[in-house]
Amino acid sequence: MTTSLKAKAVRDVLVAAALLLAGAAPAQAAARHHAPDEWLYLTVARGDATAGAARDASAGAARDALLLCDPPQGHARAAEACADLAAVDGDIGALPARNTPCPMVYAPVTVRARGQWHGRPIDYTHTFANSCVLQARTGTVFALDDD
């Protein structure tokens, strides 16, 4: 997904939500352009959040995606990510840890998810010791690459 498509998708979601909240959208327009109930803007950046991963994200060193779950889209494993999130009602911290052996190498990865799940705001940020631990703890939610 290109940056311009992501920006357009985010803009469309925000415009639709603003129109629905303001009550300014005609019923016909609201039916065509409803704000999704389950969406997350996901960011994965190398480094520790306290050591500048947020700065790296703004400099373009991060990967990001807009995950939509009705229908699932946004990254290569969107359907699996939406199913994982549905199982824990959108609570990323409650995702069950997978029994995966990971190397004891400190190569921190900081992730952030902002959005909403069933109308509830979501703002999750966490730094994992390395990408293996990230995958073991969050499954497919932050699997933004095709590999």
Averaged pLDDT for residues 21-31: 43
Distance separating alpha carbons of residues 109 and 23, to the nearest angstrom: 41
Give residue-wise pLDDT tens across range 108-131: 999 999 999 988 999 999 999 999
Are 93 and 70 in a shared domain?
yes
Give domain status of residue 30, yes or no: yes
What CATH code is carried by the domain that includes residue 80?
Answer: 3.30.350.10
Give domain status of residue 72, yes or no: yes
Range of the domain at 67: 36-138
Give domain status of residue 133, yes or no: yes
pTM of the model: 0.69
Give domain status of residue 4, yes or no: yes
Give domain status of residue 143, yes or no: no
The structure tokens 């932050």 sit at 142
Cβ distance 125 to 49 under 8 Å? yes
Residue 30 pLDDT > 50: no
Give residue-wise pLDDT tens across range 135-146: 999 999 999 875
Q: What helix, strand, coil percent values describe the chain, rounded to 5?
A: 40, 25, 35
Give residue-wise pLDDT tens across range 49-99: 765 544 544 444 689 999 999 899 988 899 999 999 999 999 999 999 999
Q: Tell me how many domains the chain contains.
A: 2
